[in-house]
Amino acid sequence: MSEQMLARQTEIERVLRLAPVVAVVVVQNVEDAVPLARALVAGGIPAVEITLRTPVALDAIRAIASEVEGVEVGAGTVLNARDFHAAAKAGARFAVSPGHSPALLDAADDSDLPYLPGASTASEAMSLAERGYRWQKFFPAVPAGGIEFVKALAAPLPAIGFCTTGGITAQAAAQWLALPNVIAVGGSWLTPANLVADGNWPAIAALAREAAVLARR
């Protein structure tokens, strides 16, 4: 493993260990980005993944990166090299993708931006490990096999750790975090659309506080 890859993997591990849950956020209105991120940080969830699913996502990342103290803002749903470079330029501290491709992996190799690539099979996880990715996103966690599947990967692939995302609820998060190969979970339940639309930042901070104290192995 190159020194650059080792540094990026060390950094993504640091981000994933900040709290048991990484907030997975879809921002529809850029003016919501800063207060929303501040509410999450106030509740103890500093790692915030803004998914590139809306036209304002990059602007939201830019605003959060420049205006919110104590946040580690990342870009999610990174699908290609163009997305990867745009996320880095916007000020993202890490990038996350639902899967991976040769072009996306090449883009990550040419950047200092820490990257969490996605896998959903043992073969995909092994291929990423060969490229130096100790830390991976398992997605979509529930549809792709659920807790028993990820648990079964721990014995043959003990060197790989996952941030599991996709279909995980507040009620089930603790079960996922109890797995030996799960470092964190991605959670969209922290930012319900109705609370964001209402600007109910105290309620979002309360959900973050509940998530921040979840135990993990």
* High-pLDDT (> 90) share of the chain, %: 98
- Helix axis angle, 201-212 to 33-42, nearest 10°: 40
What pLDDT does 7 receive? Answer: 96
* CATH class for the domain made up of 3-212: alpha beta
- Specify whether the CB–CB gap between 153 and 122 falls below 8 A: yes
| Residue 216: pLDDT band with limits 50, 70, 90 | confident
The two tokens of residue 94 are 């890490």
pLDDT per residue as tens digits for the range 194-209: 999 999 999 999 999 9
pLDDT per residue as tens digits for the range 110-125: 999 999 999 999 999 9
Q: Is the pTM of this model over 0.95?
A: yes
- Specify whether the CB–CB gap between 164 and 150 falls below 8 A: yes
Is 80 exceeded by the pLDDT of residue 217? Answer: no
Burial of 48 (0-12, 13-18, 19+ CB in 10 A): buried
Phi-psi region of 145 (alpha: psi -120 to 50; beta: other; left: phi over 0): left
The two tokens of residue 75 are 């870009």
Torsion, CA 178, CA 10, CA 91, CA 23, rounded to 10: 0
What is the chain's mean pLDDT, rounded?
Answer: 97
Is 80 exceeded by the pLDDT of residue 59? Answer: yes
Q: Read off the pLDDT of each residue in 87-108 and give the average, rounded to a whole number.
A: 97
| Residue 168: pLDDT band with limits 50, 70, 90 | very high
Q: Catalytic residues, which ones?
A: 49, 137
What pLDDT does 127 receive? Answer: 98
